[in-house]
Homo-oligomer: A and B are copies of this chain.
Amino acid sequence: LHWLIGVAVGTRGRPRRVTISDVAAGAGVATSTVSRAFSRPDLLTVETREHVLQVADQLGYRPSPIARAMTTGVTNTIALLVGDITNPYFFGLIRGAERQAAAAGYTLVLADNDSAEAEERSIARLARSVDGFILGTSRLNDEELRSVVRERAVVTVNRPVTGAAQVLVDSEPGMRQAAEHLASLGHRSVTYLAGGSALTWIDKAQWRSLRAACDDVGISADQLGRFSPTLDGGAAAADAAVFAGTSAVVAFNDMMALGVLRRLADRGVSVPGDISVMGVDDMFGADLCAPRLTTVRADLESAGRGAADLLLGALTGPARRSRRMVVPTGLVVRESTGDAPPG
């Protein structure tokens, strides 16, 4: 770590950065040779390469990513944009993306946007300094999104866009298992508590999968909402569900489900005695609550990894864009679902 940045004692005792020409001078070669020793080592004979590398090392030389980006146009940096960092839902996504990026020698820039405008600003600000974007929950409309895709490599998460690579969570298997689970517990109907914004593709996908699965197992399905995908939104949804007299609800996500749980507890409604409650995501906290939450798990960390993979692939490999990756789901049965109440 001594040569963290590459500093040499300059003319008047002031530290000066070690550059490629210092190494060139020290090794008695041209700057281009030093450059090659680092970026195209195969072009050099073993002897010169070793020699240059050794001199560079003892001088404490570190290539400057900035200067590199200046000439090549590649920054080795990707940006991950999310809608709300504090939502545990994103933790896995962030971690997966960071891990994969770091493994490939890429740097991850994180931006938290609470609105479509903020998202635009982030994109505009970062556009020149990153090689590509992972849009974790884009609030941009289709047209805006396409204009970004036109200029930059983009991977979206749970947001189909023509021309961009995307990772999509496949709700189908999880929702099917959910329907079977509830049916086998004697529920005759299930209420889906919709959430997100009008642009939230996954909300529709979940509802579609759940309804189809309910059809297949012979129970009815209907929808309430759309509610805010937050604890508070869950509270509102809980009241609506109680009013509707449903015996089983599936919330848009775990955050909402947790809100439902809390609200029902406050109102003295027993879970799962009176109502069975399910969420989606299996986010952090879903098995910490009481009762522990039955949920449809989506492996967001692998979604994050996949998103980074797709992006890096688009960046480095041939221009085979618009690839997609599908993340499967599955039911995790815990304590918040149980037998349908009699009658």
Q: Could you say which of A94, A123, A301 has the most chain B C-beta atoms within 10 Å of its C-beta?
A: A94
**Complex CA–CA separation, A148 to B1 (angstroms):** 8
Instruction: Decide if B4 touches A148 in the complex (CB within 8 Å).
Output: yes
Q: Tell me which residues across on chain B come within 8 A of A30, comparing CB atoms.
A: none
Q: Tell me which residues across on chain B come within 8 A of A285, comparing CB atoms.
A: 88, 284-285, 288-289
Count this chain's copies in the assembly.
Answer: 2
Main SS class of interface, A: mixed
Q: Find the B residue at minimum CB distance from A112.
A: B98
- Cβ-based interface call for A151 (8 A): yes
Within 8 A of B (CB), among A1-40: 1-2, 4-7
Total interface residues on A, CB under 8 Å, equals: 55
Mark each residue of chain A from 83 to 105: 1 if its CB lies under 8 Å from any CB of chain B, else 0. 00110100110110011001001
Between A and B, 13 residue pairs with Cβ closer than 8 Å are: A66-B69, A77-B129, A85-B95, A88-B91, A88-B285, A102-B111, A107-B109, A107-B126, A109-B109, A109-B110, A258-B288, A288-B289, A289-B289
Nearest CB of B to A56, in Å = 14
Q: Tell me which residues across on chain B come within 8 A of A95, comparing CB atoms.
A: 85-86, 112
Q: Tell me which residues across on chain B come within 8 A of A258, comparing CB atoms.
A: 288
Q: Find the B residue at minimum CB distance from A288.
A: B289
